[in-house]
Structure 1
Amino acid sequence: MITSPLTDAIRLPDGTWIRGRGLRRPLPEGPAPEVGLYLGSARLRRRHEGTLSWPHTWIDWPDFLLPRDSGEAVRQIRALHEKARSGAAAEVACGGGVGRTGTVIACLAILSGLDPADAVAWARRHHHPKAVETPWQRRWVARFPAA
């Protein structure tokens, strides 16, 4: 069985590996990611940008809310999935690693073939029990375009 080189990575329904984490916690031991998608405000970005030495992208996504540019967020989530599917050691992270990160993990599960109706429960079972924290995040996942 193929495993992810990233500590604490989870396997999506299509076999793709992704690590979800909180930027406020220390970087897990082991190899660094090869690509990352980070979710947060300009303040979170300023605080953590210098610690990310690998290729990465930021989505302007306030805590407990939705991305400011939904179309760009969908494009970046799709791009992360493609890179991870191609074998890149990939991670997604926000400040705490639960709400926004869980929302993206649920969307990645949809891109992996999971029915959108099951994505939040899947993210809670595999990533964090409180993943996808708000009703609007749950609606965003339910409407995430699978194709």
Structure 2
Amino acid sequence: MTTTWDPTAPGVLRLPSGRLVRGRALRRPLPPGAQPTFALYLLGRQPTPVAWEHRWLRWPDFRLPSDRTATAHALREAWARAVDERVEIACGGGKGRTGTALACLAVLDGVPNDQAVAYVRQHYAAGAVETPWQRRFVTRFR
């Protein structure tokens, strides 16, 4: 039994290492198929309860995370767990905050900071990482 995502499923990003992470918009219905085993929800307020393990990061729409240290720790945890778990990263629209977080995971996976936004736009969504400060956050992420 596999515990990672189907690489052809909507919203699934393959990182250079082969790790699979799903990005999605919480304003849309949960996609059919497998559920996450772990998720990071990037929202200005606490999300509705879900049946799987998750973390909430206070991250208002079009902004940056409220606690950058906690965000870095949570992203490292998500990246590590994506080796053998179905990790989901999601915000309201699934583009700006989700794209920013996915670009940070790409950095953790070895993509140079200055290329991570382009990587996510090519392999996840063309409109990912919406604001200049989100792009700057990725270029400075460690």
- The interval holding the TM-score normalised by the smaller chain is over 0.9
> Residue by residue, what CA displacement relative to the aligned partner does 1:84-124 show, whole Å, maximum 9, x if unpaired?
12x00110000000000000010000111111110000111
Report deviation, 1:137.
0.4
Amino acid at match of 2:74: Q
Q: How many residues are aligned here?
A: 138
Tell me the percent identity. 47
1:35 and 1:55 in contact (8 A); partners too: yes
How far, CA to CA, are the matches of 1:128 and 1:4 in structure 2?
A: 17
Report deviation, 1:5.
3.8
How far, CA to CA, are the matches of 1:135 and 1:89 in structure 2?
A: 30
Q: What does 1:1-147 correspond to in 2, within 5 Å?
A: 4-5=5-6, 7-8=9-10, 9-42=12-45, 45=46, 48-50=47-49, 52-85=50-83, 87-145=84-142
How far, CA to CA, are the matches of 1:137 and 1:40 in structure 2?
A: 15
Task: List structure 1 runs of 4+ shifted beyond 2 angstroms.
Answer: 2-8
How far, CA to CA, are the matches of 2:24 and 2:61 in structure 1?
A: 14
Which structure features the higher share of helix residues?
1
Q: Which runs of 5+ in 2 are unaligned?
A: none
> 3-state SS of the aligned residue for 1:49?
coil
Q: Normalising to structure 2: TM-score of the pair? A: 0.93
> Residue by residue, what CA displacement relative to the aligned partner does 1:12-53 show, whole Å, maximum 9, x if unpaired?
1111000000000011100111000000011xx2xx423x21
How far, CA to CA, are the matches of 2:77 and 2:90 in structure 1?
A: 15
> 3-state SS of the aligned residue for 1:57?
strand
1:5 and 1:89 in contact (8 A); partners too: no
Q: Which runs of 5+ in 1 are unaligned?
A: none
Q: Normalising to structure 1: TM-score of the pair? A: 0.89
